[in-house]
Chains A and B, each alone.
Chain A
Amino acid sequence: MSSKDTCRNELRTAIRQLSDRCLYSASKWAAEQLVGIEQDPAKYTPSNTRFQRGSSSIRRRFRTNEITSTPAAGVSYVSTPVMEEDEVVDGDFYLLAKSYFDCREYRRAAHVLRDQNGKKSVFLRCYALYLAGEKRKEEETIELEGPLGKSDAVNRELVSLERELSTFRKNGMFDPFGLYLYGMVLKDKGSDYLARTVLVESVNSYPWNWSAWLELQSLCTTVDILNSLNLNNHWMKDFFLASAYQELRMHNESLTNYEYLQGTFSFSNYIQAQIAKAQYSLREFEQVEVIFEELLRNDPYRVEDMDMYSNVLYAKECFSALSYLAHRVFMTDKYRPESCCIIGNYYSLKGQHEKSVVYFRRALKLNKNFLSAWTLMGHEYVEMKNTPAAIDAYRRAVDINPCDYRAWYGLGQAYEMMHMPFYALHYFRKSVFLQPSDSRLWIAMAQCYETEQLHMLEEAIKCYRRAANCNDSEAIALNQLAKLHHELGRDEEAAFYYKKDLDRMEAEEREGPNIVEALLFLANHCRAHNRFEEAEVYCTRLLDFTGPEKETAKSMLRGMRTAQSSFPPMDVERFPP
């Protein structure tokens, strides 16, 4: 890892260069990371570090003309390439074009730059054209939504752009930004392989463009593709890998990477949010909640990733926190898909499912491929017992991302509700394949096998066993295992699982009918196997409960005592009942 100073200086330059080329989200990302670097406490006064987190208005400015490009000793990081500015002073036309661009008048911007040949101008012209095409495409998508759901609106600039960009590339007239644009065009066109090559080229020569990394990441659909990329070592690569691992559901690898990055960027909100995401996938809700609370404290108007926080709050049924979050994002920016999802969750927790569907729909209107909205909407429809709609929503979710195990699970659930357990199993299988560590999925699958229709108890047992192995928080699996074994006449196994269940319930200090059931079974079981002392212990414990079991226990105790007093123990052993 390069030194913090190096990172800092690199980022500062990058921010300027990126925003100069109107690559605003990349620039935003870079700036976030810049602030995320821990300041040298010896160098700055406490007041400076106090402001280091949170507000971005107060920021120490440095003169960034002297770019330090010293690589860290010992590590084989490539030397940081220095961007050569071909136009040291931006031409007047460029300034005008950039202003137009900033006002979202893309075609005007492109027109202004029509005769400029500098790399920067060429890039901005092409980029403006690309965005103009995208804008038109989105408008058309809304306007032309035909009866067939036809959305064949295309970015009409793509063809000419691609032609132009490929010539540029052949003539070697490209800076990394141009390559990034070319990569995007190729990706839109569907030439994934070439797009990857071009993007790798781009990030190797200019690593600080996070948007380029993101494009590259979206093209890495498998680990093999990811490993086959020929990337230079740079600290930005670590960000990329962490993010790519997360997408590929290699959460632990991703976490390791992020924790490593935190060494330098210890205050990065981005990294924190990503860690939260990974923890969320690992179902560590407590940790996620802590992280998000901190994030919200530092960055109260943050909307990104907050839908995940709302999911956690929903799962934990933290009503007031969710309500607070919903109101806050509503005030901040209510027309963002994330906000809509949060509000949808809020209504769902309130039990107003129709309203929540409205908000999920709105989220989808804002972004048709907003995955979690589809899944959550499916959940709502399930709640509303509208299974066909739920199935449709879930199916759209898995078609957008076939790795969404929640949606697969939802599909299974929906079909189970339709009393099609065998059909549902197909989906549950998909779901557990993607998330084998989630006990709920195994339990759902087991219940499917258990249904009267299928009655495949052996398979159910296998599933429950898996569920019990992955830390079944609701403690269904052990009890069910015991019951099933009992049903199948395997009392030893049943006793084993009842005992295990009992131990667990004791450890968690839980009460409930399961305890009574376990105690009763164990008492009977021990008595049948002549372990009277153990049986007596269980019976005595049963006496603490009310209900018919208490009476049973009493009579059992009485029976055992009389049996023991009338027969010498030797006889009992000799003639087992």
Chain B
Amino acid sequence: MYAPPALMTVPFPFSSVSQHNRFGLFLFALTKSSDDILEPKLDELINQLREIGDLLYQWLTDQLISRLSSLSSPDDLFTLFSDLRGQYSWSTQNLAQWKMSRLFWTRIVTWECFSGVVCLLSISYVLRYNFFDLMSSSGVCHLLTNIGIYCKEALSTCPNYELPCLDDSHNDLEALSEYENMDLENIVYEKVTEEIEARKMASEKVSFHLHAPEALFGLVEDIEVPAILNSKHGDNCRETCSYAHTPNDALRDIDSSGGAFLRTNWQTEGHGSSFSLNAFEVILRQLQKLAPDLHRVHFLRYLNNLYHDDYFAALENLHRYFDYRTLDCNSFGRYEIALLCLGMMHFHFGHPKQALEVLTEAVCFSQQKIFCFLGNLVMRISFNYFCARTPDGFQFMQHSNDTSLAYTLAAICNLLAEIGISTTTGILGSSYSPITSIGTSLSVQQQLFVLLKESSRIAESLKLKRLVASNHLAMAKFDLTHVQRPLLSFGPKNSMKLRTFPTNVCKELRLGSHLITEFVSERLTMTAEGAFSTAWLKNLQKPMGALVLSQENVSGGSSNAFQFCAQPSSIPGSVMQLVGSSYLLRATAWETYGSAPLTRINTLIYATCFADGLSLSDAALAHVKLIQHLAVFKGYKGNLKLAQQVCDELGVMASSVTGVDMELKTEASLRHARTLLAANQFSQLLFSIHLFPPLFYFCIFTQHSLQAAAVVHSLFCMCYKFNLQVENATVLLLLAEIHKKSGNAVLGLPYALASLSFCQSFNLDLLKASATLTLAELWLSLGSNHAKRASTLIQQALPMILGHGGLELRARAFIAQAKCLLSDPSFSVSQNPEVVLDPLRQASDELQVLEYHELAAEAFYLMAIVFDKLGQVAEREEAAASYKKHMLALENPEDEEDQLINT
């Protein structure tokens, strides 16, 4: 890397050895830093080069630009590389350097096109982070693809003949222009224009990108996030917006340039908002024409099809790609990867059964070949899958997601055990075949538990850190949502408490992130790759960059927590993803256990620090959580509709396939249900929630819109279908509340009790408090003789509600408390009025923030009664006026909506 000090003559462009070395360092850092997908643009690179030194910079930039612009075919690029090899033949490590520079130049070429394509096609982070990492390791292939794409420029300057008429769908166009001298240029232009129109429409339709960020922003700013993180987020948003508007610019330029190249550029930069299937297909066809043996094209085509949900074409192209890859001697474990891709594809399209079969085959296959790394890979896939969706996913059995995971893991355990790395045979032994023997005796959850334990043990013994970490996360998730039963019940039945263990969850989470931190620090100190290099490069742009450069000792810098957060791209994607999911899982856990502040903190960390590296669906989930949090604790502030809309849009982002993206779907639906609840549309909820609605309910509620009914109906079905027990508790409580509202307290009681018992066994403290409160309210509404019982219940729940509950919950608790006191014959208002008035005042304040007119009216009504009893007429009138105001608002909800629309 460094020019040896003894070397007296420095190669041409450099004026001194130190300059030479600086450049070397720069190159080194540059090539190493780009483990992530997003790579700098050419102009960024030039800016960075400028930091190194004026003279050198000029020379290098000239070289770079002239070289790149003179590229017209893949062969030219090869020539370029050979030239480079001669020119930069620095010192002894010639070959290594050559390799490095090759990588370097490849990257320059790629920045323009490939990263864009990949980002754009980021179907799921699983694909992106696992498969793409793996694939790009076959660097040659990568290189060729990029060169091919780059060559489209050359192609577009060729006679128009090169532009293929795509398929029969363009025949109409062709026929039309048939008698007009076959002006192909016109056709191209028309095509482009059409696409631009389509894109415009698409970007209008997907309005999320246009308004949602601001909306979210408002919410985020509300909690006073540090400004630096905020602005970062903002940049992202702006970028998205600007991309959405690019078509106009493109349109303007279209006359001047050939069309094809421009179009591609603008597509590759499109960043996923909308992306036309055929447009990319055009590029791929050109590419294939240029290099028929470049099979990577098929894979890109597969991704394109996948992105556009074209199942059959995706299947076809995936098979084609891997068929051709079989001859590729370097592709290690190609069949396994083929199977894994296929499995993932089936997952994506919601065919869990096929996916399971494919994965099983993958494991069986790798078993024959004894590829250790593959076990790891399968494991990662499964875990990613596991983490991304709820553990109780699919429907081919009731718990088929568990099953698929369990089977896969079972097979992996078997695989790893047979390789002989782990000596102990474990609970299951090593002789079972993956499918047959395990499924018989244990329940799916138990199997899962056993296998998780087993696999994490194996992973630990193999020192697969990422795997161990994800194992811990999976375990935490398992602990969170599953009641553990004794695995083997020998002898007398031991009395075990059927509850989840929050401590276990905490422990697993801690262990998980501990390992992640270890991993990161290890990378920093030992290999000095990735994180450090990027930090170094970023420092270049600061004025002190030159200082850093001149110092020989650059590896002294250590990264603190802030750097860790602010430069997420420095860590490999898979690790990032793990860290991110650990935070998200923490948030979920705290949400479940009922600690609002901790939920908020964790979600915020996730949303701000890991936003750019992670999958859309996870980000959406985080945002849903944040919205929900704000809605509960800050009130709606009149933005009910907007919140609703954002929520809907987030829900839409989830895959439309059944059984996929369960977590996001449930969150969004629950959120929707709560919004409806807050908007006093209980009746619709009830109508939809109740499985067997008695006829009179039907008659009462048909007058309401069916829109809400659809939401909760689907939610209800989903919870039962996918065995989401935690969510079941919520839905049951919702049912109880609806019965309460509709005046059927007796009907509500069993639901509340059922919910309560669910909450108890899953340690859902906040929900439990809320259920207790509902129970108390139900008792209260049965008559004053139950006030005592209700009061006891409220006292039980109050600490939790006051500590972590949202505005509504607190207000309800206060009102219920007051009601209890008022209906207690032994309590006299005149003696101790503040005991009643104080909670009522608080309740009314909070409810006014929430714009919860119904409850607010009730609070004021109670206040008026108290004042009346106390004989304070003025206060009574005031309360009565407030009561009237809220009742009016309740009866005329349209006014508010109008306001909303106007604002």
Show the binding face of A for B, using Cβ within 8 Å. 146-152, 154, 158-159, 162, 166, 170, 189-194, 197, 387-389, 391-392, 394-395, 399, 411, 418-423, 426-427, 453-455
Q: Counting chain B CB atoms within 10 Å of each CB, which of A154, A388, A399 scores highest?
A: A388
Q: Which of A146, A193, A394 is B174 in contact with, Cβ under 8 Å?
A: A193
B358 located at the interface, meaning its Cβ lies under 8 Å from any Cβ of chain A in the complex: yes
In angstroms, Cα B317 to Cα A399, docked, is 11
In angstroms, Cα B326 to Cα A171, docked, is 53
Closest residue on chain A to residue B436 by CB atoms: A455
In angstroms, Cα B323 to Cα A146, docked, is 22
Given contacts A148-B74, A426-B319, contact A190 B165 (CB under 8 A): yes
Size category of the binding interface on chain B:
35 or more
Determine whether the beta carbon of A392 is less than 8 Å from that of B292: no
Determine whether the beta carbon of A420 is less than 8 Å from that of B327: no
Return chain A residues, CB-CB under 8 Å to B168. Answer: 192-193
Determine whether the beta carbon of B165 is less than 8 Å from that of A191: yes
Shortest CB distance B350–A (Å): 18
B701 located at the interface, meaning its Cβ lies under 8 Å from any Cβ of chain A in the complex: no
B249 located at the interface, meaning its Cβ lies under 8 Å from any Cβ of chain A in the complex: no
Determine whether the beta carbon of A152 is less than 8 Å from that of B323: no
Determine whether the beta carbon of A422 is less than 8 Å from that of B368: no
Determine whether the beta carbon of A191 is less than 8 Å from that of B74: no
Mark out the residues of chain B between 270 and 292 whose CB falls within 8 Å of any chain A CB in the assembled complex: 289-292
Which of B176-184, B509-517, B587-595, B883-891 forms part of the interface with chain A?
B176-184
Mark out the residues of chain B between 174 and 212 whose CB falls within 8 Å of any chain A CB in the assembled complex: 174-175, 178-179, 181-182
Shortest CB distance B438–A (Å): 15
For this complex, 28 residue pairs linking A to B, each with C-beta atoms less than 8 Å apart, are A148-B291, A149-B291, A149-B293, A150-B292, A152-B289, A154-B161, A189-B161, A190-B164, A190-B165, A192-B165, A192-B168, A192-B171, A194-B175, A388-B326, A388-B327, A392-B323, A392-B324, A392-B327, A395-B320, A399-B320, A420-B335, A421-B361, A422-B357, A422-B358, A423-B339, A423-B358, A426-B315, A453-B361
B365 located at the interface, meaning its Cβ lies under 8 Å from any Cβ of chain A in the complex: yes
Shortest CB distance A172–B (Å): 12
Determine whether the beta carbon of A194 is less than 8 Å from that of B174: yes
Determine whether the beta carbon of B74 is less than 8 Å from that of A150: yes
Q: Counting chain A CB atoms within 10 Å of each CB, which of B182, B315, B320, B338 scores highest?
A: B182
Return chain B residues, CB-CB under 8 Å to A190. Answer: 164-165
B865 located at the interface, meaning its Cβ lies under 8 Å from any Cβ of chain A in the complex: no
Given contacts A152-B289, A193-B168, contact A158 B161 (CB under 8 A): yes
Given contacts A159-B161, A194-B175, contact A423 B293 (CB under 8 A): no
Determine whether the beta carbon of B320 is less than 8 Å from that of A453: no
Return chain B residues, CB-CB under 8 Å to A455. Answer: 435
In angstroms, Cα B76 to Cα A148, docked, is 13
In angstroms, Cα B323 to Cα A426, docked, is 13
Shortest CB distance A415–B (Å): 8
Determine whether the beta carbon of A391 is less than 8 Å from that of B326: yes
Shortest CB distance A169–B (Å): 9
In angstroms, Cα B78 to Cα A420, docked, is 38
Show the binding face of B for A, using Cβ within 8 Å. 74-75, 78, 144, 159, 161, 164-165, 168, 171, 174-175, 178-179, 181-182, 289-294, 315, 319-320, 323-324, 326-327, 335, 338-339, 342, 357-358, 360-361, 364-365, 368, 435
Given contacts A426-B315, A426-B319, contact A150 B291 (CB under 8 A): yes
In angstroms, Cα B173 to Cα A191, docked, is 11
Determine whether the beta carbon of A392 is less than 8 Å from that of B74: no
Return chain B residues, CB-CB under 8 Å to A192. Answer: 165, 168, 171
Shortest CB distance B156–A (Å): 14
In angstroms, Cα B364 to Cα A115, docked, is 73
Q: Counting chain B CB atoms within 10 Å of each CB, which of A149, A162, A394, A422 scores highest?
A: A422
Shortest CB distance B281–A (Å): 14
Q: Which of A170, A399, A420 is B361 in contact with, Cβ under 8 Å?
A: A420
Interface residues of chain B: helix, strand, loop or mixed (majority): helix
In angstroms, Cα B159 to Cα A427, docked, is 40
Closest residue on chain A to residue B178 by CB atoms: A194
Q: Counting chain A CB atoms within 10 Å of each CB, which of B161, B294, B365 scores highest?
A: B161
Q: Which 5 residue pairs of A and B lie closest in terms of their CB atoms, listed nearest first?
A: A149-B293, A395-B323, A193-B171, A388-B326, A148-B291
Shortest CB distance A492–B (Å): 27
Closest residue on chain A to residue B342 by CB atoms: A423
Return chain B residues, CB-CB under 8 Å to A394. Answer: 323
Q: Counting chain B CB atoms within 10 Å of each CB, which of A148, A194, A399 scores highest?
A: A148
Determine whether the beta carbon of B174 is less than 8 Å from that of A419: no
Closest residue on chain B to residue A456 by CB atoms: B357
Shortest CB distance A266–B (Å): 40
Determine whether the beta carbon of A453 is less than 8 Å from that of B74: no
Given contacts A150-B74, A166-B182, A420-B339, contact A411 B323 (CB under 8 A): yes
Determine whether the beta carbon of A391 is less than 8 Å from that of B74: no
Closest residue on chain A to residue B179 by CB atoms: A170
Determine whether the beta carbon of A193 is less than 8 Å from that of B175: yes
Shortest CB distance A188–B (Å): 10
In angstroms, Cα B368 to Cα A498, docked, is 36
Closest residue on chain B to residue A415 by CB atoms: B335
Determine whether the beta carbon of A419 is less than 8 Å from that of B364: yes
Q: Counting chain B CB atoms within 10 Å of each CB, which of A152, A170, A392, A423 scores highest?
A: A423
Shortest CB distance B802–A (Å): 57
In angstroms, Cα B757 to Cα A41, docked, is 102
Closest residue on chain A to residue B291 by CB atoms: A148
In angstroms, Cα B292 to Cα A150, docked, is 6
Return chain B residues, CB-CB under 8 Å to A453. Answer: 360-361, 364
In angstroms, Cα B602 to Cα A327, docked, is 80
Return chain A residues, CB-CB under 8 Å to B174. Answer: 191, 193-194
Given contacts A146-B75, A151-B292, A192-B168, contact A454 B357 (CB under 8 A): yes
Shortest CB distance B796–A (Å): 55
In angstroms, Cα B327 to Cα A389, docked, is 6
Return chain B residues, CB-CB under 8 Å to A399. Answer: 320
Return chain B residues, CB-CB under 8 Å to A391. Answer: 323, 326-327
Closest residue on chain B to residue A144 by CB atoms: B75
Given contacts A421-B361, A422-B358, A423-B338, contact A395 B324 (CB under 8 A): yes
Return chain A residues, CB-CB under 8 Å to B164. Answer: 190
Return chain A residues, CB-CB under 8 Å to B144. Answer: 148
Shortest CB distance B187–A (Å): 10
Return chain B residues, CB-CB under 8 Å to A387. Answer: 326
Return chain A residues, CB-CB under 8 Å to B327. Answer: 388-389, 391-392
Closest residue on chain B to residue A425 by CB atoms: B357
Shortest CB distance A376–B (Å): 17
Shortest CB distance B175–A (Å): 6
In angstroms, Cα B319 to Cα A426, docked, is 9
In angstroms, Cα B165 to Cα A514, docked, is 59
In angstroms, Cα B338 to Cα A420, docked, is 11
Return chain A residues, CB-CB under 8 Å to B161. Answer: 154, 158-159, 162, 189
Return chain A residues, CB-CB under 8 Å to B323. Answer: 391-392, 394-395, 411
Q: Counting chain A CB atoms within 10 Å of each CB, which of B291, B323, B324, B326 scores highest?
A: B323
In angstroms, Cα B165 to Cα A146, docked, is 26
In angstroms, Cα B178 to Cα A170, docked, is 10
Determine whether the beta carbon of A423 is less than 8 Å from that of B320: no
In angstroms, Cα B161 to Cα A153, docked, is 13
Closest residue on chain B to residue A163 by CB atoms: B182
Shortest CB distance B760–A (Å): 43
In angstroms, Cα B324 to Cα A149, docked, is 13
Return chain B residues, CB-CB under 8 Å to A170. Answer: 179, 181
Closest residue on chain A to residue B78 by CB atoms: A147
In angstroms, Cα B434 to Cα A453, docked, is 9
Q: Counting chain B CB atoms within 10 Å of each CB, which of A159, A194, A395, A454 scores highest?
A: A395
In angstroms, Cα B171 to Cα A454, docked, is 45
In angstroms, Cα B75 to Cα A162, docked, is 30
In angstroms, Cα B179 to Cα A419, docked, is 57
Return chain B residues, CB-CB under 8 Å to A454. Answer: 357
Closest residue on chain A to residue B182 by CB atoms: A166
Shortest CB distance B650–A (Å): 36
In angstroms, Cα B342 to Cα A423, docked, is 9
Closest residue on chain B to residue A395 by CB atoms: B323
